[in-house]
Amino acid sequence: MKIAIIGGGPAGLYAAILLRKQRPDAEITVYERNRADDTFGFGVVFSDATLDNFEKYDSPSYRRITQEFAYWDDIAVHFRGTVHRVGGNGFCGCSRRNLLLILQQRARELGVVLHFETEIDDEARFADADLIVLADGINSRFREKHIEDFQPEIDVRSNMFAWMGSTRPLDAFTFIFQETEWGPFIAHAYQYEAGRSTWIFETDPKTFERAGLAGLNEKQSADRMAKIFGWFLDGHQLLTNRSMWRNFPMIRSKRWVKDNMVLLGDAKATAHFSIGSGTKLAMEDAIALAEAMQHAPTVATALQQYEQGRREEVEKTQHAADVSLVWFEHVDRFWEFDPVQFAFGVMTRSKAITYDNLTLRAPDFVAEVDKAFARQVRARGFDIDVKKPLAPMFQPLRLREMELANRAVVSPMCMYSAKEGVPGDFHLVHYGSRAIGGAGLMFTEMTCVGRDARITPGCAGLWNDEQEAAWRRIVDFVHTNSAAKFALQLGHAGRKGATKLMWDGIDRPLEEGGWDVVSASPIPYFPDSQVPREMDRAAMDAVKAAFVAAAERGERCGFDMLELHCAHGYLLASFISPLTNERTDAYGGALENRLRFPLEVFEALRAAWPAHKPMSVRISATDWAEGGITGDDAVDIARAFAEAGVDLVDVSTGQTVRDAQPVYGRMFQTPFSDQVRNEARVATMCVGNITTADQINTILAAGRADLVALGRPHLVDPSFTIKAAAWYGAEDVFCPPQYQPGKEQIFRNSVRDRQDFEDLKIKAKPKTRAELKAEATKPLAAE
């Protein structure tokens, strides 16, 4: 077999090694345009898990790599004169140059032919090769040449960065967030061998411009960085090696294979340096390719298997990298944070590390995080313990005069079980049990302001006396038997009205018994949905009046809070999104116009709703669709509602148009809550695939939301909050006297369960290489 590999970086060399081990008779040649020891960059970083993989696939190179390594366990975050260290991270650094020399030597030993200073510009010269590996790096000429087949997407990110080195020794992966006269600079630094560390500097484009870096050469910009970070560099120099400032390109390719050619490493997909995974991904691609080549009957099937089998892992890493890079791009959002909360945000930015996970590894750090959170709560007038505070989830919150005992919320959820809009026994049990379950706040399902405002025939309403009496019975039960506050969500279905019950076909039009629907513009939801009537001024006035009348009824029922539903493509949302609003009058066009009617309704409600009771608005912070609402629009929308007196923005997303492309995942809407909260400076509630109390604490402690709502988890577990309270020892959680023995038991058992869980986790966790090395080099204690 003949294999040609274009590019002698980590991907190309490691692929050559593994393929040659498998096929000692194969003719494998690597073509590299640079000289053998001519390498840019300084150190590379691998996690313990990646090194385990290297050990499994080629132990000679693994051994040589790890001999040269620097190990560290801690991450240190420097911010505004403070430093916070978190242990248990298990990382290793090595020089990129040594890594390449080790891989070259190993490849040669195995009989791979290496051609240096050989630039390949046409794959035609490998016409007789069975396999051509395109490992030609981030600017891959071959990916671009076959752009139609590989279909790359290149997202050039806004921040500027430059790789440099230093002789400054470091004993932790070090993040330094530095304020300067021009704006914030960030250093990501780690040691990779004795006396050598990598320094990646990053800043936003405006700070870059203000600092005049565009006009400086490599040496001058290194001098500028040395001056900014001089207090930390401690007299050590910064070293350069092609250390030009650039923008990071996030590369994704739709296809990785064309005929017998395959993309590997940076050529096919990149991962931002803030999660240190570029070289890891490149070498693990080589492992995946070698695995596929080992087992598949033909090269063509091997390449297919490589692409299919590897894609998910690469996309997962890229997603984590995306989330992380966005955090760094928006670091100014958190600049005013308490330093320990800021450090917690750095640690938990890409979702892999959580509150509970840090509690195991760095209990003192989490105790500080809890205290900082509690101090903020105390500053708002709550008499709470700040020395040994409860976890953030169990800290109270006040909105106007409404006080919530904790931050867990039952999200609004239609039950499709009302008769002519009247909530019945099902609703009493449903809301009653969830309130008793301990959530601080509970929302009603979308409660419709008129018969024709309903989504389905099963939707609850609040437009007549019978409905008012039925809701009052439920509110009374909740207030008598629980500590939960109860918010009424009012809405109008708009063009998504007159549709079937959820279990008969969500958003599908009713076949009979429907009613006329209205919207901002006459655009049907599905092509076969009813075409809505475009609302005229009279219709708007009527709808506004219906909202106000329902709010007045809500007040008479005794609800504690009112939410206006402006999300999910319903009537008010249809005004806000440009995808559903094509009006040419004062209610269409710019966002300011599209917001006009929803704001009018909000203001009318605010005037009618008692001043001491809070109001929220639910928005779709993105339409997940081309040309639709984006996170930046959501900030403007939130600001407009905040000016009109909103107390909380309930940040949801999507459901505006049927061809949206949401990116689901754990806590997938939280970044929007983060953006709205920390840019518009308004309290937010986040929601969406949040399933554990650990996630709730992580979100709250990092300052990404003020309240956390759970929808589906509450459908199957009304007692979610009381169980979490037992786990975190929040003894004050409300429990009705009838259920007190159950509470006592779960609290007693939880202490032991938690201890068992922690012991198990600690036992199951293998020692990091840093810990093993520290143990091996520890002097024996004197007897």
Ligand X SMILES: Cc1cc2nc3c(=O)[nH]c(=O)nc-3n(C[C@H](O)[C@H](O)[C@H](O)COP(=O)(O)OP(=O)(O)OC[C@H]3O[C@@H](n4cnc5c(N)ncnc54)[C@H](O)[C@@H]3O)c2cc1C
Ligand Y SMILES: Cc1cc2nc3c(=O)[nH]c(=O)nc-3n(C[C@H](O)[C@H](O)[C@H](O)COP(=O)(O)O)c2cc1C
Binding site for ligand X (CB under 6 A): 6-12, 31-34, 40-45, 96, 119-120, 135-138, 141, 163, 198, 242, 265-267, 278-279, 282
Residue 52 CA to residue 335 CA, distance in Å, equals: 38
Residue 316 CA to residue 618 CA, distance in Å, equals: 30
* Interface with ligand Y (CB under 6 A), residue from 73, 285, 445, 623: 445
Residue 29 CA to residue 34 CA, distance in Å, equals: 15
Secondary structure (H, E, C), 715-749: HHCCCHHHHHHHHHCCCCCCCCHHHHHHHHHHHHH
Of 172, 178, 189, the closest CA to residue 239 belongs to 189
Q: Pick from ligand X, ligand Y, none: which does 688 bind, CB < 5 to 8 A by kind? A: ligand Y
Task: Name residues contacting ligand Y, limited to 166-225 (CB under 6 A).
Answer: none
> Within 10 A of 222 (CB to CB), how many other CB atoms are there?
22
Shortest CB 723 distance to ligand Y, Å = 16
Shortest CB 744 distance to ligand X, Å = 53
Residue 535 CA to residue 107 CA, distance in Å, equals: 72
β-strand pairing of 196-203 with 152-166: antiparallel
CA 626 vs. chain centroid, Å, equals 20
DSSP alpha helix (H) spans, 164-233? 205-210, 218-228, 230-233
* 565 in contact with ligand Y (CB under 6 A): yes
CA 575 vs. chain centroid, Å, equals 28
Cα dihedral sign for 28, 30, 36, 41?
A: negative
Q: Pick from ligand X, ligand Y, none: which does 328 bind, CB < 5 to 8 A by kind? A: none
Return the exposure string of 651-684: e unless at least 16 CB atoms fall within 10 Å of the residue's CB, then b: bbbbbbbeebeeeeeebbbbbbbbbbbbbbebbb
* Interface with ligand Y (CB under 6 A), residue from 414, 475, 707, 735: 414
Stretch that binds ligand Y, among 121-129, 142-150, 681-689, 756-764 (CB under 6 A): 681-689
* Interface with ligand Y (CB under 6 A), residue from 186, 372, 413, 561: 413
* 407 in contact with ligand Y (CB under 6 A): no
* 748 in contact with ligand Y (CB under 6 A): no
Task: Name residues contacting ligand Y, limited to 470-529 (CB under 6 A).
Answer: 489, 502
Q: Pick from ligand Y, ligand X, none: which does 137 bind, CB < 5 to 8 A by kind? A: ligand X
Shortest CB 600 distance to ligand X, Å = 53
Distant-in-sequence contacts of 525-529, Cβ < 8 A, 24+ apart? 525/495, 525/496, 525/569, 525/657, 525/658, 526/658, 529/495, 529/499
Q: Which residues contact 140 (CB under 8 A, 6 or more apart)?
A: 134, 263, 266, 267, 268
Largest CA distance in the chain: 92
* 711 in contact with ligand Y (CB under 6 A): yes
Shortest CB 83 distance to ligand Y, Å = 37
Q: Which is nearer to ligand X, 40 or 231 (CB)?
A: 40
* 618 in contact with ligand Y (CB under 6 A): yes
* 411 in contact with ligand Y (CB under 6 A): yes
* DSSP per position, 230-256: HHHHTTPPEE-SS---EEEEEEEES--
Shortest CB 569 distance to ligand Y, Å = 11
Shortest CB 529 distance to ligand Y, Å = 19
Q: Pick from ligand X, ligand Y, none: which does 647 bind, CB < 5 to 8 A by kind? A: none
Residue 322 CA to residue 159 CA, distance in Å, equals: 13
Shortest CB 4 distance to ligand X, Å = 11
Q: Pick from ligand Y, ligand X, none: which does 295 bind, CB < 5 to 8 A by kind? A: none
Residue 55 CA to residue 655 CA, distance in Å, equals: 47
Which residue of the chain is nearest ligand Y when measured via CB? 711
* Interface with ligand Y (CB under 6 A), residue from 688, 705, 721, 770: 688
* Interface with ligand Y (CB under 6 A), residue from 249, 555, 689, 723: 689
Shortest CB 21 distance to ligand X, Å = 18
* Interface with ligand Y (CB under 6 A), residue from 446, 478, 562, 700: 446
Q: Pick from ligand X, ligand Y, none: which does 689 bind, CB < 5 to 8 A by kind? A: ligand Y
Cα dihedral sign for 411, 417, 422, 423?
A: negative
Stretch that binds ligand Y, among 134-142, 410-418, 523-531, 575-583 (CB under 6 A): 410-418
Q: Pick from ligand Y, ligand X, none: which does 769 bind, CB < 5 to 8 A by kind? A: none
String marking each residue 295-324 x if it binds ligand Y according to CB under 6 A: ------------------------------
Q: Which is nearer to ligand X, 42 or 443 (CB)?
A: 42
Residues in the chain: 783
Q: Which is nearer to ligand X, 44 or 448 (CB)?
A: 44
Q: Which residues contact 624 (CB under 8 A, 6 or more apart)?
A: 653, 654, 660, 661, 662, 663
Active-site residue 62, yes or no?
Answer: no
Tokens standing for residue 673: 């809550």
> Within 10 A of 392 (CB to CB), how many other CB atoms are there?
27
Shortest CB 507 distance to ligand Y, Å = 12
Of 497, 403, 515, 404, the closest CA to residue 459 belongs to 497
Q: Say which of 570, 664, 728, 739 is annotated catalytic.
A: 570
* 652 in contact with ligand Y (CB under 6 A): yes
Q: Pick from ligand X, ligand Y, none: which does 278 bind, CB < 5 to 8 A by kind? A: ligand X
Q: Pick from ligand Y, ligand X, none: which does 461 bind, CB < 5 to 8 A by kind? A: none
Q: Which is nearer to ligand X, 9 or 614 (CB)?
A: 9
Shortest CB 279 distance to ligand X, Å = 5
Q: Which is nearer to ligand X, 282 or 410 (CB)?
A: 282
Please report which helix (H) or strand (E) contains residue 198, including its range.
Answer: strand 196-203
* 712 in contact with ligand Y (CB under 6 A): yes
Q: Pick from ligand X, ligand Y, none: which does 445 bind, CB < 5 to 8 A by kind? A: ligand Y
Residue 608 CA to residue 603 CA, distance in Å, equals: 9
Stretch that binds ligand Y, among 334-342, 464-472, 527-535, 687-695 (CB under 6 A): 687-695
Q: Which is nearer to ligand X, 12 or 532 (CB)?
A: 12
Q: Pick from ligand X, ligand Y, none: which does 41 bind, CB < 5 to 8 A by kind? A: ligand X
Number of residues that bind ligand Y (CB under 6 A): 20
Cα dihedral sign for 250, 252, 258, 261?
A: positive
* Interface with ligand Y (CB under 6 A), residue from 710, 722, 724, 770: 710
In 302-411, which ranges are E strands? Answer: 397-399, 402-404, 408-410
Tokens standing for residue 513: 């018994």
Tokens standing for residue 173: 């992966």
Read off the amino acid at residue 757: F
Shortest CB 704 distance to ligand Y, Å = 16
Shortest CB 36 distance to ligand X, Å = 11
Q: Interface residues with ligand Y (CB under 6 A)?
A: 411-414, 445-446, 489, 502, 565, 567, 618, 652, 687-690, 710-713
Give the residue numbers marked as catalytic: 570
